[in-house]
Structure 1
């Protein structure tokens, strides 16, 4: 893990919704995760970087079912020409959404990714960003997940911290995995103007 040498031009905040970061079902260390994510948001906004909040639309009866209390984004959104919310229905934030068009239209070449869950939506979104040719920065202490329960005959329980580390390791050959969110820097993309994308985007 090293300090990111170049600034990221966009921050993708993945599924930081109340179902995953509050209450009995919150990821371990949720308070610290929220603090570091809020700091990333503050610095990304200050630099003029593009900020995209990804919001998962879960299936009926799940904690993130649309318009349920757990579906709401936990951190405030400062909607404007360089910040928006994109709703999704799959782990990959690019799948069936206007995220790719938004980044391309804004002139973004590098993204920082944070949020939940490490081995699911965070990793899937980071992998597609890499496949599309974006430089990806993944701050180790700004993504999190749940413990994996024991499976008889397969393995003992796997702590969440181990799951997050493995998720990052699986893409570390291509992504820049930094030790701390504070190691990530930001800069505005060029051109700075962001045209409103078509699709399920809300402000």
Structure 2
């Protein structure tokens, strides 16, 4: 089983302006903590020779993730390193109309360790799609985050997706949820 670390949409403006003035500092702090855990996991992946794939959402002009803007750039802590692969997408599904499958096939990847943003959109959709395509997935329980949405806080959304996606399966492929500290490469 060949693993890859897949980090989705950890871009400068991913949660910018998504919370109320009172909640935005909490959302930003949660993102910073998540980024720190993902950066540590990436270091472990690099030292283990595990491929790292960064997914970058390409927003249209005027979008907070508009291509070429500072908001679109991947966070400095996770900026692509030598040997990292960057996959560009325009929808919540990291596989839809991208070269992600080809990049994973080139590296004989069968198991994805997934983290990033936004839990209820791109992370959830990509995890479900990966499993349906036959990849085993480890979702990093404390390695994905989002902003508040409606009556739900970001912490409630993250918790819901951790509970919902743990033991999600399709055929013989399975998603499990583990804390970053428990993940082995």
TM-score normalised by structure 1 residue count: 0.78
**2:172 equivalent in structure 1:** none
**1:111 equivalent in structure 2:** 112
Q: Is 1:8–1:185's contact at 8 Å kept on the other side of the alignment? A: no
Within 1, Cα distance between the matches of 2:107 and 2:162?
27
Larger relative contact order (Cα-Cα within 8 Å, sequence gap ≥ 6): 1
Give the CA deviation at 1:70: 0.3
Deviations along 1:167-189, one digit per CA (max 9) or x if unpaired, are: 232221221101x2111111xxx
Classify the secondary structure of the residue corresponding to 2:14. Answer: helix
Give the CA deviation at 1:8: 6.5
Q: Which runs of 5+ in 2 are unaligned?
A: 19-23, 169-174
TM-score normalised by structure 2 residue count: 0.86
**1:129 equivalent in structure 2:** 130
Within 2, Cα distance between the matches of 1:165 and 1:59?
30
Q: Is 2:2–2:108's contact at 8 Å kept on the other side of the alignment? A: no
2:165 maps to 1:165 = no
**4+ residue segments displaced more than 3 Å:** 23-28
**2:34 equivalent in structure 1:** 33
Larger-gyration structure (1/2) = 1
Within 1, Cα distance between the matches of 2:57 and 2:45?
22
**2:171 equivalent in structure 1:** none
Q: Which runs of 5+ in 1 are unaligned?
A: 1-6, 150-156, 187-203
Q: Is 1:11–1:49's contact at 8 Å kept on the other side of the alignment? A: yes
Report the count of equivalent residues. 169
Structure with bigger strand share is: 2
Within 2, Cα distance between the matches of 1:41 and 1:116?
16
**1:55 equivalent in structure 2:** 56
| Structure 1 vs Structure 2 CA RMSD | 1.7
